[in-house]
Structure 1
Amino acid sequence: MTDTTTARSANLHRLANPGRFLRFADRIYPWCFGTMLLALTAGLVGALALSPADYQQGQSVRIMYVHVPAAWMALFVYLNLALASASLLIWRHPLAGVAAQASAPIGAAFTFLALATGSLWGKPMWGTWWVWDARLTSVLILFFLYLGYMALSNAFENEERGRRAGAVLALVGVVNLPIIKFSVDWWNTLHQPASVSRIGTPAIHSSMLWPLLVMALAFTLFYVVVLILRMRSELLAARLRALGRLAVEGR
């Protein structure tokens, strides 16, 4: 194991302490929140005012600046959920279950936003709100995976048992991520192929690309901000529950 790997492991171990994590979260939260507001403002100005209308899609292309980042975040948050679940099951990281449960509703919201804006975009482009093609169906399955994780992790009276059961479902659902990513390449679908992630030659003009990437940054920071708030709330609630039990036992 290299010195760098050892240092990273030590940092993760230190953050496993709820008190240290809360102090770390309190330090980075204002910076994340402020940067999120700046990125969101710049992204919206670029998307709504500075970027041109598409020569084929017209003004409806502006839905892209919400739809695409939301779809990216739906996958990114689920990947984080799965990594936290693996950390819980393998290393029993004390904050992994909290992070996973805090991430799930955020990821579900991003997935719902991607589905809703995709329907709004699809109607003028395809002439229909919905088609059962590979990309749309696999994203809908992702939404159900989020809902299933939330339902399963809260279905047990024992909180730790619920988190571990949800973690198993989250890891099983990882198989859906490459299906979503490569569905437009593996099958003939109405959904357009990747246009931003092409290495070196994105099929999108820079005047549209930079607002899209700034909006993606804003959505990412939004996830971090809300994740911190949800984890902080859960940890403080757990601390209050522990103090309550101690008070009852001390009577």
Structure 2
Amino acid sequence: MPNANSSPQTPGFFSRLWQGFLATVGTREFFRIFSPWVKWLAGIAITMIAIGSIWGLGFAPPDYLQGNSYRIIFIHVPAASIALSIYFALAVLGVIFLVWRIKTANLVAQAIAPIGFLLCVLSLLTGSIWAKPTWGTFWVWDARLTSMLILAFLYAGVMALFAAFEHTPNRGKAAAILSIVGAVNLPIIKYSVNWWNTLHQGTTLTITEAPKMSIDMLAPLLLMILGTYFMVGALAIYRTNTLILRRDQNKAWVKEYVRTSK
């Protein structure tokens, strides 16, 4: 028999944090909370990318070895690094969807997969353009390029699985599994230049080492990377909200939103 004088046990910090997280991940809550973010993220992204691209492509000094051909780094590095980040996010979202059955995670993954694919393809194209004056050829089958090409195929596979199971009860499961399994390719891409003898140059930016670039080259590159992250954030929210409206189109809150937004 419980003690009449005992007080209800207060939920712990992590329990409250988890409950707070769950309160934001429903489709309606996600739409309500994150919709206002799109214009702000897009505005910051446009500003950063505009300043970074003009600075990097027009005013940064030429490289002492590669001359002006290195300037493609201001497009190539953001595209490549964020393509890796988005695929890592796909793997995390896949775990969340499979373990906790949070449907919004599946919708976010579906929204960001095409963005990651486009950035991955952009990194391959700009890398090939950069390779011609540097290596004398557009393509070599070295470890970094080959593993990055595999990443593009993984993205294409995830997108195809989302499309194939669009109207089935298993929508998102196969894509989540491929996202998780394919994540094994990410460390291969990152450390390929250290593990194998490749033509590809080493990592441009690392947390543990001092920058290998002068500040007038590094600053616009960082602006381009951060601006691209903000752009991806804006696109991810916008595309996720579009998928939410399509998925919940017969629910009362969507009908009310459509009615009041006209």
Q: Same fold by TM-score, threshold 0.5 exceeded?
A: yes
The one-letter code sitting in structure 2 at the alignment partner of 1:233 is: T
In the other structure, the counterpart of 1:147 is 156
Look up the match of 1:249. Answer: none
Report how far residue 2 of structure 1 moved. Answer: 6.2
Q: CA deviation at 1:26?
A: 1.8
Partner of 1:247: none
Quick one: which of 18, 33, 50 aligns to 2:27? Answer: 18
- 1:172 maps to 181
Q: TM-score, normalised by structure 2?
A: 0.88
Unaligned runs of 5+ in 2: 1-10, 253-262
Change (3 A) 1:32 1:108: same
Which structure 2 residues correspond to residues 186-197 of structure 1 after superposition, within 5 A?
A: 186-197=195-206
In 1: Cα distance, 2:16 partner to 2:188 partner: 35
Structure with higher Rg: it is 2
**How far apart in 1 are the matches of 2:235 and 2:168?**
22
In structure 2, C-alpha distance between the alignment counterparts of 1:200 and 1:137, rounded to whole Å: 26
Identity %: 41
Q: Secondary structure at the match of 2:144?
A: helix
Which residue of 1 is the match for residue 6 of structure 2?
none
Cα distance per residue 1:172-231 (max 9 Å; x no partner): 001000000000000000000113115241211111111111100111011111111111
Instruction: State whether structure 2 residue 121 is matched by structure 1 residue 109.
Output: no
Per-residue CA distance 1:82-101 (angstroms, 9 max, x = gap): 11111000111120110111
Displaced runs of 4 or more, over 3 A: 5-8, 157-160
- Write the distance in 2 (CA, Å) between the matches of 1:191 and 1:41: 28
Which residue is 1:44 aligned to? 53
- TM-score, normalization: structure 1? 0.92
Structure-1 residue corresponding to 2:220: 211
Post-superposition Cα deviations, 1:55-84, rounded to whole Å, max 9, x if no partner, equal: 111111110000001000110000111111
Which is richer in helix?
1
User: How far did residue 31 of structure 1 move?
Assistant: 1.5
For structure 1, which runs of at least 5 residues remain unmatched after alignment? 244-251
Alignment-derived partner of residue 78 in structure 1: 87
Instruction: Give how far 1:12 is off.
Output: 2.2
Structure 1: distance between partners of 2:161 and 2:141 = 27
User: Residue 69 of structure 1 aligns to which amino acid in structure 2?
Assistant: P
